[in-house]
A and B are shown apart, each in its own frame.
Chain A
Amino acid sequence: MKRIYALLVMLAVSITAFAQNGRSLYNKYSDYDNVEAVYISPAMFRLIGKIPDMELQEGNVNLGPVIKSLTGLYILSTTREDIAADLAADVNHFIKRGSYELLMEAKDNGEVMRLYTVGDEQIVNSLVMLARDAAETSFICLDGTMPRDELETLIAEAAER
């Protein structure tokens, strides 16, 4: 009987943790005034993946290998200080609850950018970027089953351009 209780409690905890994700943050903030919001659904990613020979402008990064593995993109951006503070606090909370690990942090002239990922050695299930400066706070969340090697190669290639 104790095992059943433990299992039920674990299930309840996992459900609560599951509720904290990019989508819940998007749903909370996307309708606020002074918040720019972008969402790309799994269906749209599938559609993008089906377009043959996606025409790329010269010099742009070829996202083909990774784009098919994406299942959601959430972007929130605001210049309102009070919303920015709440958003940053919520993102930090969800990062901690979601067992994300800090990939890198960069600070430049008052701007702080942090990249987080969650997954294993082969797959990245979610990549989160939080960028804050005096004027603006941006949150980007990419969900999917992204092969870590391909994602890192893509970022490295783009960084070289």
Chain B
Amino acid sequence: MKNIDEITRLTADDLERISLDKSIPVPEELSGKVQQAVRGRTLRWAVPTSVAAAIAILLAAGLTRNPEPKDTFDDPYLAYAEVEKVFSKISGTVAYGADKISESEATLDKYSYWK
């Protein structure tokens, strides 16, 4: 029986020669142990690998389902005008809100004055 150090020093040719040597007895339980070790290792990585693959598929599907749209404008001046229109609309909303706040403050001031 060889010890671990001796086994690690063996070359690939030595290992092949020993494996082909029918005179060396193979323990009966060895085959089962090897299969068990391989199956355990496979199962341990099967779940994370499957999850990672599923995520990769989801990501790929998400990217292909959501492609970049085509630009509406070819002319940057027209695009700029559109952005300006957007800001005017947003500002209009903000201005309306600010007006309402001013009106409320004025009403509150009036009420405080007469009180």
Contacts and interface: CB of A to CB of B under 8 A. Distances in A.
Interface string A141-161: 010000000000011111111
A106 B58 CA distance: 39
A61 B59 CA distance: 40
B72 A27 contact: no
A83 interface: no
B32 interface: no
A8 B91 contact: no
Given A27-B69, A159-B92, A51 B76 contact: yes
B7 interface: no
A127 B62 contact: no
Given A44-B71, A115-B90, A129-B89, A8 B48 contact: yes
Given A61-B84, A129-B89, A12 B71 contact: no
A54 interface: yes
Interface of B: 48, 51-52, 54-55, 58-59, 62, 65-73, 76-77, 79-80, 82-84, 86-98, 100
Given A8-B55, A129-B93, A140-B89, 15 more contacts: A1-B48, A5-B48, A8-B52, A15-B55, A24-B65, A27-B69, A39-B69, A41-B69, A41-B71, A48-B79, A51-B77, A51-B80, A115-B90, A155-B94, A159-B91
